[in-house]
Amino acid sequence: MIIAVLTMTAAALAAALYFFAWIFPKEPTPRSTPARRSRISPALILTLAVAFVFAGVAAGADEPAESPVDTAATMTAECTKRVDIVFWTANRWRPLMRALAANPAACADYYISIPPAEDRTMLRAGSVYREVRDLGPQFHSVAEMTLGLPTGWARNWVAAGKGTWYDAGVEFRRKMAAINLRPELGHTWLLNEFDYTTRRDQAVHADGVTPGYTRAAMRDLVRGLYEGAPGMVPAPGIVEIGISQSHQNLPDVPAYKEQMKAWLQDGQFWTAMGGKIRWLAHEVYADTRYHGVPGSRLEERRRHLVDYQEHLLELVKAGRNRVLPARAFFKETFMPFPNGGGYVARGGDAFNFESGHGNTEVPLDQMMRFVSEQVNAVEYYAERHFDAEATRRIGFSWQPVNFFELPSLQFEAEVEQQAAHIAAVLAATYGRGGTSKSACLRESGTDWCTMQRPGAEFTDKWEFFSVW
């Protein structure tokens, strides 16, 4: 159909140019005696017409260049430390995109996940994803595959009998291809998510309705996402380990640790994931009620943040020979996912720890300080545990909620302010010469690593994950 339309368009253009050439002949040269009409070749006209049509189509489509763009090569030689930054967004992604594009970290690649449509098995229009790519070569659009909720892939596709978990992964890749989201163009997918049923290898969720995301099911799903349909380019993507039943104030942390140890020792699972997942993003949405202790020093707050943010990586390291496949996998893929834009959030205890960010019921300026201190903690840990030249990895959630019921204009202004702060912190920390200290933005005249919350108390529940 498309070829037919192009052919008809080219023929019509050729005919018009041919007629134009007869009516307006080339002017004779001074040596033309007598003057003769020098007509343009019809074959040349047809060739030019076809070229114009197909060039226009190519310019309008989201087609790959003949030589794929190497984003790493676009960074200057001064970028001795690079960073991959992932944002999972639930809403209001455009203010975030504008802020990041206005103040990008020179040595960063940004991957921005766009949520699916109301029917969670459907993607948004391709133009929405192109908005990300249009920001520049540092920006990459990500399509989210949501498993949960009544319209998610678990209940609305697999449980509905539309296919297997593997089929679901392949079908998602088909939906991506239908709107021209292709890995060779820098696009990728994000799976939301491995959760407590994956950790426990549990067949059904607590609601008794939603199928569990068992390890066998997730192996098949990720393989389908990676392979796609026949003829597609294999594409490793992003997988989140969700915060469900792993909040900072979880009542039974020792039981959680034992479940996680069992999962890490499932060598067959982690071996199967190898090469198919680019980043394993661990949701560690810290809670301000257990962070901004009045009168505390940054070093104290950072230690407790690191205990929570990096607890899974510490457990993997402590496992040594018991978890060799997991150790190899985490070394290449692990990405901490702190609480960047879950503002304002009530905390996991408000949802029986099934979902929800860590509590962020604080004024905006304290939330901004919280962001600075989380980035400071992630990079502080990286500086002490990874090679200086190693590519850094960090991710954030972005889900602004008008919890305080502010007037609409004021709320939107605060969203813009929060996005600008996140962008500035990332640009300072991961720009040329940036360090963990840069996250505090002290050069701006304000020390943003000074978070305080009345009534906050530290928790030591997470400090023992460095011991198996």
Question: According to the model, what pLDDT value does residue 340 have?
Answer: 86
pLDDT value for 45? 40
Confirm whether 341 is domain-assigned: yes
Q: Flag whether 397 is in a domain.
A: yes
Average pLDDT over residues 250-264: 98
- Band (pLDDT 50/70/90 cuts) for residue 248 is very high
Closest CA relative to residue 283, chosen from 86, 431, 424: 86
State how many domains the chain has: 1
| pLDDT value at 83 more than 70 | yes
Residue 197 has pLDDT above 90, yes or no: yes
Q: What is the pLDDT of residues 382-401, one digit of tens each?
A: 999 998 778 999 999 999 99
Look up residue 291 and give its two tokens: 């962070």
Q: What is the pLDDT of residue 11?
A: 42
The model carries a pTM of 0.85
Indicate whether 183 pLDDT > 70: yes
Report the pLDDT averaged over residues 152-176: 98
Is there a domain that residue 13 lies in? no
* Mean residue pLDDT across the chain: 87
What average pLDDT does range 169-197 have in this prediction? 97
**Residue 264, pLDDT above cutoff 60:** yes
Residue 25 lies in a domain: no
Q: What average pLDDT score do residues 39-61 get?
A: 40
Domain limits for position 423? 76-466
- At residue 43, the pLDDT reads 44
Look at residue 334 and tell me if it is in a domain: yes
Does a structural domain hold residue 1?
no
pLDDT in tens, 310-359: 999 999 999 999 999 999 999 999 999 999 888 999 999 999 999 999 99
CB 244 within 8 A of CB 284: no
pLDDT at 67 over 50: no
C-beta atoms surrounding 116 within 10 Å:
22
Give the residue-averaged pLDDT of 119-126.
Answer: 98
The reported pLDDT for the residue numbered 81 is 79
Q: What whole-number distance in Å separates Cα of residue 181 and Cα of residue 173?
A: 9
| Residues 239 and 291: beta-carbon distance below 8 Å | no
Dist. CA 109–CA 130, nearest whole Å: 16
Residue 59 domain-assigned (yes or no): no
| Residue 122 maps to a domain | yes
Assign residue 436 the CATH number of its domain: 3.20.20
